[in-house]
Structure formats: C-alpha cells, structure tokens
Structure 1
C-alpha cells in the first residue's frame, strides 16, 4: 500500500517532469511543441489539484473538524498558482517567451513554498490523521484521475 504522501509526492514529480519539457520547448521558442506540452501539463496539474481539493482536503477537514485550517491555506495557494499558470498560458499563445519566463519565476517560488508545505507537513499529517482511510483515499484519487482522463476532461 502506498501512503497518501508517497502517492501525491509522485504526482508532483510527474507534473514537474511534464512542466520541464514544456519549459524547454519555450526556451527554444518551439511554439508548435510548447503549446500542447504546456496544455498537457495544465491538465495533469489540474487533475492533481482536484485530487487534493475534491478528495483529500474534505477528508482532512472532517477528521480535524476544521475547514479553515491548513486546507484553506492550500486552497488559497492553489488559486495563486492557477493565476500564474493562466498568465503563462496566455504568454505561450502570444509566443512571448519573456512574459512566460517572468511568470515562471514567480510560479517557481510559489510552487517551491507550496510543495514544501504539502510534502513536509500536510501529506505526512494526512497519513497520520487518516491512517485507517489512506488506502481508500488513494484509490479515490486514482479513480478520480482515471474517470477524468476517460471522459476527456481537461482537469
């Protein structure tokens, strides 16, 4: 059985790997490759956020009896990340690598801080608090991802 932390850490790595491919295309100004690669990254990233926001966070909120704690902070940060990503997508559509990398710098800082909190604090906490439910939660997250990919959903 995988822990919640392991499962979501691996998800972070897959998103990071896809982003790296898109960023390399943009650095080469290969816009034909960059747009679909970045779109795939956005789909993977949204799917990851869905796993957290629709499955993990509600379970944590119930277990802790508080929807205004750490999950509220994470949801707010997700909003900031989505905003930067929207700016980056717009820059790709304009074929503006300078604007893309300006927003990429901001995203990198936000993402590093966010992932450190999730991987260092939130996910291990979830494994402790949701110990008896971890396998079912991971299965639900995997099921959500599968259902969305089969439906052709961008998220």
Structure 2
C-alpha cells in the first residue's frame, strides 16, 4: 500500500478531529451521561494540528507565493482558536448541554468552512512545494510530535 501524501495525512487528521467532536455531540443528543474526554482529545488534537500547520507547513508555502491563501488560513486559525477557548471554558464551567452543544456546533461549522478551503488549495500543493527536509519534519511530527506548552496560534 502506498504511503499517504502529506495532504492526505493532514485531511485524515481533519476527519479524526471532526469525528471526535461529532461523537461528543451524538452522546449529548442521546441523553446519557456524557464523558467529555473524547471532546477534550479532539480539542487538543485541533490545537496541535493548527500548530503543525503554522510551524511546519505554512512558512514554505508562503515563501512559494501562496501568501494570500496562507493569510486567510491564519486568520481562520485565530477564529478557530478563540472558539476552542470558548468550548474549553464551557466544559469547565457549565452543565448546560444546549450551550455546550451550540458552542461545539459553531466550532464544527467553522472547521467545515476552513477545511473546505484548506484541503483543495493548501494541501494539494504541500507535497510539491515542501522540500525534503520540511516534508520529513512534518511527517515525523504527524506521527509523534507534541505542541509546546503555552503555544498560541499567530492570530488568536
């Protein structure tokens, strides 16, 4: 079986993150006691994903001339980051399932809009534009990387 392209690997992370949030919402809708751990994992994964894009992917793509699309992605990362903070805060402070459901649904909508641009515009060019060293670093991070404590996206 052929190895995934960088774009495919990054898209797979998108699906896993979306799936974690969607599963949490399904549990909320079922009316049973909800374990927030899968949502917390999805939120942490999204923060890590934003980190890897801003540190490993976007600099080379920006240098290759994709400044406009990268600017849009960074701005949207800021919107996502603020919504991540909102959801995280609600998890800690409220037992209101409707409020939490709305906040998670808002995050999913932001992700859907963001991913619909990022996947066909940014990811399709990742393998062609990234050099061997940058590509290897990104692949290594995808497998085992962790986001530095306290890191915040550039447009948060």
TM superposition score normalised by structure 1:
0.79
Structure 1 segments of 4+ aligned residues over 4 angstroms from their partners = none
Q: Does 1:105 align with 2:105?
A: yes
Q: Which has the higher helix share?
A: 1
Correspondence list, 1:38-49, <5 A: 38-49=39-50
Q: Does 1:30 align with 2:27?
A: no
Q: Could you tell me which of 136, 139, 145 is aligned with 2:136?
A: 139
**Matched positions, count:** 146
Which residues of structure 1 form unaligned runs of 5+? Answer: none
Which residues of structure 2 form unaligned runs of 5+? Answer: 152-156
The Cα RMSD (Å) is 2.5
Instruction: Give a deviation string over 1:104-155, Cα, whole Å, max 9, x none.
Output: 332232211110101121111333433xx2x544431243351418x8x698
Instruction: Give a deviation string over 1:70-118, Cα, whole Å, max 9, x none.
Output: 1111011011111122222222221121111222332232211110101
Change (3 A) 1:147 1:127: closer
TM superposition score normalised by structure 2:
0.78
Q: Is the 8 A contact 1:57 1:71 kept in 2?
A: yes
Q: Is the 8 A contact 2:20 2:42 kept in 1?
A: yes
Mapped to 2, the partners of 1:26 and 1:4 lie a distance apart of: 34
